[in-house]
Amino acid sequence: MTATILDGTKVAKRADQVFQETVQELKQHQIIPGLAVILVGDNPASAVYVRNKQRRAEKIGLNYQLFHLPVTVSQDELLELIQRLNQDPQVDGLMVQMPLPAQIDAMVVMNTIAPEKDVDGFSIANVGRLWSGMFGNFPGTPRGIMRLLHEYQVPIAGQHAVVIGRSDIVGKPMAALLLRENATVTIAHSHTRDLRSLTRQADILVVAVGQAGLISGADIKPGAVVVDVGMNRNEAGKLVGDIDFPSVAQVAKMVTPVPGGVGPMTITGLLEQVVTLAQRRVEQND
């Protein structure tokens, strides 16, 4: 068996076309979806992430604003900017790029962002909405993965989904979104006993731990759908995921590559959320 590739790059491009059309429709209502991003300091990885978001946001026609603050900024100064953007009616989505410098409490920052503009979905309010089955803003990576699964018509209801990793950014919200679509969900982590016995039962396996080659073809159920969220550098400096792709591709029915799988879909999940919030603004105006 050779797995079908879940091509996040292709799906992201198709999604961008849909978003562009929606933005044009919104402009007929005198509304341009707005995304404000706050970047603190000069972390190279953060700068790359922000640049990628900006490129795609501007491509689909969003009103994108970047606020680049010095690494020495105080927490009060950052919170003051967040409060100002909370009150700006032209800003539909607001996010603060992580990580933040030591003098700033990330939890305070996340919960200062108005829940309705918190497109990262990190605030306590949105976490509660996620697990309560309510409408809310949810983290971009899990949201993008769900869109990818839908695009490839992967059955979810009734399937056994195993999520390896319990981070607040990927693992936990991924499990919640799968549960919302009636999967039977198991969360595995560093204290899980006999991990392989679980992974071999999974119809859908999501691996998000940041450990290259953790899962091989021998660890999965034949015909499983495998989603690799890992982003690691091997000894040769090549970007690889958390699975051994060649062996997994011989056993799985579908698998995401690294790069080109989940990565592009993370930004898709973010942009989809901003566009959806702008659509709700139209509905409220009507």
Catalytically active residues, by annotation: 53, 97, 120
* Cβ count within 10 A of residue 129: 17
Annotated ligand binding at 216? The verdict is: no
Lookup: tokens for 94: 């607001």
Contact 266, 145 (CB under 8 A): no
Annotated ligand binding at 166? The verdict is: yes
Nearest to 162 by CA among 211, 210, 218, 202: 202
Lookup: tokens for 193: 């006993």
Contact 277, 116 (CB under 8 A): yes
Annotated ligand binding at 281? The verdict is: no
Distance CA 178, CA 91 (A): 30
Phi-psi region of 61 (alpha: psi -120 to 50; beta: other; left: phi over 0): left
CA angle 102, 271, 173 (to 5 degrees): 60
Binding residues for NADP(+): 165-167
Binding residues: 165-167
